[in-house]
A and B are shown apart, each in its own frame.
Chain A
């Protein structure tokens, strides 16, 4: 079958050098993540302790980060490495009926906080994902979780480290490009999954006597 022609097939483009520039833009923020490996390890240890005590993971974000929340949940529930234990995780971005219902009735800021308050338990873990500073709805979700004594973790982005009193662990991807931040976040949550299981393979470090 014939195909439609390209708009300007003969016109030269920016080509390979542009691709090289785009891809090399990813390197410094990933190295920055490696420089903060101790913070990643601390967050993983805290998560492993919660899972060990029977807690579940609730994860959320808006826009493209809503798809990251889906990815995190499936990562824990159905690990890509055969034989690894399934851990309880739910994305708060899948229930379109509840999300649109809440947004229509109460506005965007409450879309995650409401679900946290009704579905969450004190032993749980909340992870909020934002490509830059914490958005209103994600921060409200993390604050509701903190108020219930849940462990709170944020994946954020930007030039400056993000901090908030309601968030126990923040891992900030050092870039202002939301696409690059997303890529650092994917690596970060792959590490969160993998390293939680490293702690699980050493149950002694999950007991109440072990403090990071």
Chain B
């Protein structure tokens, strides 16, 4: 059907389409695109199942070890600090509220999402720069017993690397959740744990990362219950 359309950007295109929509659409075209879209959905579902299996095979033992350390921090008064940019900021906020307000009788644990306070974020961005929006918050209220979790699909966001460095310097447990090959997070010598969703798709990476922090939460509660 592409062949039947005037060139993109042609000034006549929009007008022609609005006047003669039947020239540009046919039922068979729609059926074909619907089928293409349906097949794409099935393929994406298969991709994410496979990616989660890879994460599990690589990191099952590390997830449990990390969760036990997190439980140890919470048991001695530590708090969770989470941060990320863009879509990952929403994951950071979800992770924080999952610990803080899990519902269904699960034990609530202290957690702060560092991407939620617009006053702090815009003040730091405007006065200093976006590269310090998380590190300054870690410096202001991070404590030695706390846990810092940085979420990034690239693994290379400057403001996350700075916040992780600040957290390491202060003795926090530092956890990176990244995609691709881990990016610059994979080069950090001081990072305690790095979990990588090895995919080239930002969307599949985010979906696997959600599973990674949900699993850390579930295991942390298990470890805390086990430790009394």
Residues of A within 8 A of B (CB): 1-9, 11, 13-16, 18-20, 22-24, 26-27, 30-31, 33-34, 37-38, 40-42, 44-45, 63-64, 67-68, 70-71, 74-75, 78, 80-81, 178-179, 182-183, 186-187, 190-191, 194-195, 198-199, 202-212
Given A205-B30, A207-B25: A27 and B145 interface contact (C-beta under 8 Å): no
**Cβ–Cβ contact B203 & A41, under 8 A:** no
What is the chain A residue whose CB lies nearest that of B70?
Answer: A6
Chain B residues contacting A14 (CB-CB under 8 Å) are 64, 219, 222
Chain A residues contacting B78 (CB-CB under 8 Å) are 4
Given A7-B227, A19-B64: A41 and B37 interface contact (C-beta under 8 Å): yes
The one of A23, A42, A206 in contact with B52, judged by C-beta atoms closer than 8 angstroms, is A23
Residue B41 at the chain A interface, CB threshold 8 Å: yes
**Cβ–Cβ contact B86 & A78, under 8 A:** yes
Given A4-B78, A31-B49: A204 and B38 interface contact (C-beta under 8 Å): no
Given A34-B46, A63-B101: A23 and B55 interface contact (C-beta under 8 Å): yes
The one of A18, A67, A210 in contact with B90, judged by C-beta atoms closer than 8 angstroms, is A67
Chain A residues contacting B169 (CB-CB under 8 Å) are 1
Chain B residues contacting A26 (CB-CB under 8 Å) are 49, 52, 211
Chain B residues contacting A179 (CB-CB under 8 Å) are 98, 214, 217-218
Chain B residues contacting A187 (CB-CB under 8 Å) are 44-45, 48, 203, 207
Given A8-B68, A75-B87: A204 and B5 interface contact (C-beta under 8 Å): yes
The one of A11, A41, A210 in contact with B227, judged by C-beta atoms closer than 8 angstroms, is A11
**Cβ–Cβ contact A64 & B94, under 8 A:** yes
The one of B56, B71, B98 in contact with A19, judged by C-beta atoms closer than 8 angstroms, is B56
**Cβ–Cβ contact A22 & B5, under 8 A:** no
The one of A9, A183, A194 in contact with B203, judged by C-beta atoms closer than 8 angstroms, is A194
**Cβ–Cβ contact B24 & A1, under 8 A:** no
